[in-house]
Chain A
Amino acid sequence: MSRTLRRFLFLFAVVAITIGFYSIAFGEEQVVEVAQKGSTIVWWMWPVILFVFTFFLGILAVVAGVGGGVLFVPIVSSFFPFNLDFVRGAGLLVALTGALSAGPGLLKRGLADLRLALPMALIASTCSIFGAMVGLALPTNVVQTALGATIIMIVIIMATAKRSDFPDVKEADTLSSVLRITGIYYEESAGKQINWQIHRTPLGLSLFIVIGFMAGMFGLGAGWANVPVLNLLLGAPLKISVATSVFLLSITDTAAAWVYINKGAVLPLIAVPSVAGMMLGTRIGVRILARAKPKAVKWMVVTILFLAGFRALLKGLGIWG
C-alpha cells in the first residue's frame, strides 16, 4: 500500500473515530443539544466536519469502487446530529450530482447506453417516487431499522457478487429485440469492438421496481443493485453495465430528489458541504486510485459499511443510540 494511501487511511480513521466516539459518548440527543446550544461545538463546525468527512468518503468511494450515496446515508445518519430525513435528502443529492457529473462523459464515449437505460429508468424512477413518499411517511425508527437491514444486505451483495466482463448472451429476448436494446463498443483492453445484446429483460425490469423503491426510500444511490442486474441478469458487458448504472442513477435519483425537495427535506447547510466534499474527494480518489490497492480498500469499505449498517439497525431498534 502506498505511503499516500496509508496517510489517507490514517486520517480517515482519525476523523471517523473522533466523530464516532463523540456521537456514542454523548448520545444522539446530547450531541444535538450540544450542537444547538453551541456550548462545546459551534454550529458551523458541523457543516465543516461534514465537508471534511465527505471529502474522505469521496476518496474511499472511488478507490473501493462503490457509490458515494450508499456510504453517505448510513454513516452520516449514524454519527451526525441530523435527522434521517435531511440525511436522505442530502444523500440523494450526493448520488445525483456524482451521476450528473460522470453521465455526460460516459454517454459521449458510448459506454453508458441510452436505449438500455431508458426502459429501466422509467420503472426505477417511478418507483423511487413511491419509495421517497413511503420513506418520508414512516416513523424514523422504522426507516432506520430498514436502512440498517438493507445496508447489511448490500454488504453481503458487495462481498459475494461476482462480475462477468463479457457475459455470454446467446439470443436476445423478444422485448429487448423489439426495443432494439443492443450495441457495439470499443474495448480498449482487448483492442477490439464488442457486440452486445441482452436477455431476461422482463425479469430485469421487474427488479428495477424494488431497486427504484429502495433508492427513493433510503436516499441511496443504487449502483450496488443496478450493476449486478445489468451485468449478471441481463447480460450486458461489465463496462456497459457500470457506466449505464451511473447514468441510470441520474434519472432515478432525480425523481426521488424532487419529492424530498418539495417536502423541504433538502437543507443546503447539510447538502452543499456534502456534495462539495464528495466531489472534491472523488477527484483526489481518482489520482490515488492509480497507486492504491483497491481490493484492500474495498474490504475496508465493506467493513465500515457493515458497521454503519449494524449501528443503523441497532439505532432503529432503540438498542444503541
Chain B
Amino acid sequence: MSNKTKPSEEQLKYASVLQTISLGGLALLVIGFFVYLSGLLPTLVPADEIPNYWGMRVHDFVEKTGMPTGWDWVPLLNHGDIVSFLGIILLAAGTLVCFAVILPNFIRKKDTPFAIIVIVQILILLLAASGYITGGH
C-alpha cells in the first residue's frame, strides 16, 4: 500500500480499537449465553419461562417479568440472564469508545469540522446509551 492510499492515522486507530472490542464482545456474548443456559448462576427469569413472554410487546414483558430496563441491570450482575447481556453491551459500546479514541487526533490536527462532528456523535451515542430516551409506553 503506497503512502497515498494508506488510510489516515485516525482511521487505522479506529479500526484497531473496533476490532479488539468486537472480538471481545462476541466472545463475551457466547460465554454469557452459556452461563445463562447452563444454570451456573440464578436467573431473574428462567430460560424455559421466556417463551411465555416472547410473543408479548416489550412493555408487557418488562411489566410481567420485572426485567430491568436502562442501566438497572448493573446491580444484578450475579444473575445468568443479566450476564448474557454483557456481550451485547460491549458490542453496543464499541463505537463510542472508538470515537473517544480518535477525537484527540482531530483536535491535534486542528481539523475543527471533524472534531466537532466526533464530539456531537459521542454526545448522541451517550444520550442513546444513557437510557433517558426510550420509545413506547
Binds B, one of A56-64, A67-75, A78-86, A294-302: A78-86
Are A104 and B19 touching (Cβ within 8 A)?
A: yes
B8 in the interface, Cβ–Cβ < 8 Å? Answer: yes
**By DSSP majority rule, is chain A's interface helix, strand, loop, or mixed?**
helix
Residues of chain B within 8 A (CB-CB) of A105 are: 15, 19
Contact A268 to B85, CB < 8 A, known contacts A43-B51, A263-B58: yes
Q: Once the chains are docked, how many angstroms separate the CA of A157 from the CA of B11?
A: 31
Sorting the interface of chain A by its residue count into under 10, 10 to 19, 20 to 34 or 35 or more gives 35 or more
The reply to whether B32 and A83 form a contact with Cβ atoms under 8 Å apart is: no
CB distance from B79 to the nearest CB of A (A): 12
CB pair A125 B88 closer than 8 Å: no
In the complex, what distance in Å separates the CA atom of A268 from the CA atom of B35? 12
In whole angstroms, how far apart are the Cα atoms of A262 and B135 in the complex? 10
Q: Does A166 contact B (CB under 8 A)?
A: no
Contact B84 A85 (CB under 8 A): no
A257 CA / B94 CA spacing, docked (Å):
12
- Bound Cα distance A186, B6 (Å): 10
Q: Is the interface of B mostly helix, strand, loop or mixed?
A: helix
Provide the A182-208 mask, 1 if CB < 8 A to any CB of B, else 0: 001110000001000000000000000
Known: A86-B54, A118-B121, A254-B92. 18 other contacts (CB 8 A): A96-B92, A97-B25, A97-B91, A100-B25, A100-B91, A101-B26, A107-B14, A108-B7, A108-B15, A110-B11, A115-B8, A125-B128, A136-B136, A251-B121, A258-B128, A261-B89, A262-B69, A264-B61
Q: Are B92 and A275 in contact (CB-based, < 8 A)?
A: no
Q: Which residues of A contact B120 (CB under 8 A)?
A: 122
Q: Do A136 and B54 contact each other (CB < 8 Å), given the known contacts A114-B8, A259-B135?
A: no
Distance from B117 Cβ to chain A, minimum over Cβ atoms (Å): 5
A309 interface residue per 8 A CB criterion? no
Q: A264 contacts B18, CB within 8 Å?
A: no
Flag the segment in A15-23, A127-135, A147-155, A281-289 that touches B: A127-135
A144 at the interface (CB under 8 A from B): no
CB distance from A270 to the nearest CB of B (A): 7
B67: chain A residues within 8 A (beta carbon): 264
Given the complex, which residues of B lie within 8 Å of A178, measured CB to CB? 113
Q: Is the CB of B16 within 8 A of A268?
A: no
Partner of A184, one of B5, B25, B58, B125: B5
Least distance between B5 CB and chain A CB atoms (Å): 5
- Residue pair A271, B30 in contact (C-beta under 8 Å): no
CB distance from A72 to the nearest CB of B (A): 16
Q: Does A245 contact B (CB under 8 A)?
A: no
Interchain CB contact (< 8 A) of A250 among B1, B29, B95: B95
Task: Collect the chain B residues with CB atoms within 8 Å of residue A86's CB.
Answer: 54, 58
Do A136 and B58 form a contact, CB below 8 Å, given A97-B91, A251-B95, A254-B96? Answer: yes
A122 to B95, CA, bound (A): 12
In the bound complex, residues from chain B placing their C-beta under 8 Å from that of A133 are 133-136
Residue A32 CB within 8 A of the other chain: yes
